[in-house]
Homo-oligomer: A and B are copies of this chain.
Amino acid sequence: MNRYDRIYARYEVETSFPLEDAIGVMAGEQSSGTFLQIPGETAELKERSGARIEWIRETGSGAQPSLPGAASPKGVASPVWRRAETLLSWPIANLGPSLPNLWATVAGNLFELQQFSALRLVDLTLPEPFRDAYLGPQFGVEGTRRLTGVADGPLIGTIVKPSVGLSPAETAALVQQLVEGGIDFIKDDELQADGPHCPFAERVEAVMGVIRDHAERTGKRVMFAFNLTGEIDQMLARHDLVERANGTCVMVSLNSVGLPGLAYLRRHCRLAIHAHRNGWGLFQRSPHIGLGYLAYQKIWRLAGADHMHVNGLRNKFCEPDESVLASARECLSPMFSGEGRGCEVMPVFSSGQTVRQVHDTWSGLGSADLIYAAGGGLVAHPGGVAAGVRAMRQAWEAAMSGISLEQQAATHTELRQALEKYAG
């Protein structure tokens, strides 16, 4: 490891203190500093281990703090709350190439510092030793296309709905309809794991029976992401069970399994890892405190996720479309240079997706390397599941050929019915 290797993290901050002072406290808090000058914190130590302020760029100011509870300089009656962007860096030698300790370093105590009335981690750049220490995605885009046989275009997917409550047999019956309908990908909802009404092993057996049978008859191996979120031993056992049943994919709730959990699974895994980010709203919902997806998704890609959820355009959640598209493009962008080191993953669009978001998704992403997952937007098609899948493919075909949705619907019944069903 080159001792000059540094970790870079970009933040948005707001403070009523002089920017250099406040950001200096942040840098000290997350490296060698403490609130008092103490023996041991020599100039040499600070030089070697201290975080460094690379730059500060003031972006605006206001008369009110964005969040309550921040301190302001003594004796100042009407403090000005300055906003800025800043880049901090750390020597990798403080922590070595460890993702869990990276989290403590760039996303740890600093969010609570009194100096700040807003603080968001916006982006992260990791030095090469991190790429050497972790496996990254095993399948990513190419591997997923290989496993599913979908050589080009989007993977059309869906989520088993209702989220939870179906028995293994009922789940398999639904899957039967879906595979006969021509779906490429199906996922458990993140609320379905190993509850007594739908035990994991029984669900895998029932579902994979349908999928194997369909593969034998048609040659198409539908990918089913089985949610194995649970304890460490449980996840490995569940993985092995899916593998024995000829499954190709397992799913995890990232914020539930944690970084060491995902990395551990990845090291033992021979299947694609479909990563769901539920709980993400805690990091993103407030403009004033949080952790942006550009930073977040890098950490999980490196730990081994193959597919990363990015929400979807105009869905039931709060994230603006521009943010969704930026996240998805980031998933497809290399994190490190060099052949095979990029850690590109397949973005997954979901939640309230119908034929109506297809064109903007295609033009905003600039690629068909994605999983486009629709639940109700597909299975509630008046013509049934098969019609719903066909409508979705018709929409994507139109988008990728530069044909408008309306024009395509004029000559494609299933799409026309979908447009009537799913009002704009």
Q: Which residues on A are within 8 Å of B, measured CB to CB? A: 1, 29-41, 45-46, 48-50, 67-70, 93-96, 98, 100-101, 103-105, 107-114, 119, 161-166, 170, 174, 190-191, 193-197, 229-233, 235, 253, 255-261, 263-264, 278-291, 311, 316-320, 351-352, 375-377, 379-380
Contacts and interface: CB of A to CB of B under 8 A. Distances in A.
Interface of A is mostly: loop
B49 A104 contact: no
A260 B257 CA distance: 6
Contacts of A39: 379-380
A318 to B, nearest CB: 4
A95 B200 CA distance: 11
B257 A162 contact: no
B112 A376 contact: no
Contact of A100 (B40, B162, B231, B376): B231
Contact of A253 (B30, B41, B104): B104
A417 to B, nearest CB: 15
Which are the 8 A-B pairs with shortest beta-carbon distances?
A258-B258, A111-B281, A49-B165, A36-B376, A108-B278, A112-B317, A100-B256, A112-B281
Given A229-B101, A256-B103, A261-B260, A94 B316 contact: no
Contacts of A34: 161-163, 375-376
Contact of A94 (B164, B229, B261, B380): B164
B37 A380 contact: yes
Question: Which of A1, A107, A111 is the most central at the interface, judged by chain B CB atoms within 10 Å of its CB?
Answer: A111
26 contacts: A1-B196, A35-B375, A35-B376, A39-B380, A41-B162, A67-B285, A67-B287, A69-B285, A94-B197, A95-B164, A95-B195, A96-B193, A100-B230, A101-B195, A101-B253, A103-B256, A107-B255, A108-B191, A108-B279, A111-B281, A112-B318, A232-B261, A232-B264, A235-B260, A282-B290, A286-B288
A34 to B, nearest CB: 5
Contacts of A255: 103-104, 107
A190 B41 contact: no
B264 A231 contact: yes
A253 B32 contact: no
A104 B258 CA distance: 12
A94 B290 CA distance: 30
A279 B217 CA distance: 51
Contact of A259 (B36, B256, B380): B256
B108 A253 contact: yes
A251 to B, nearest CB: 11
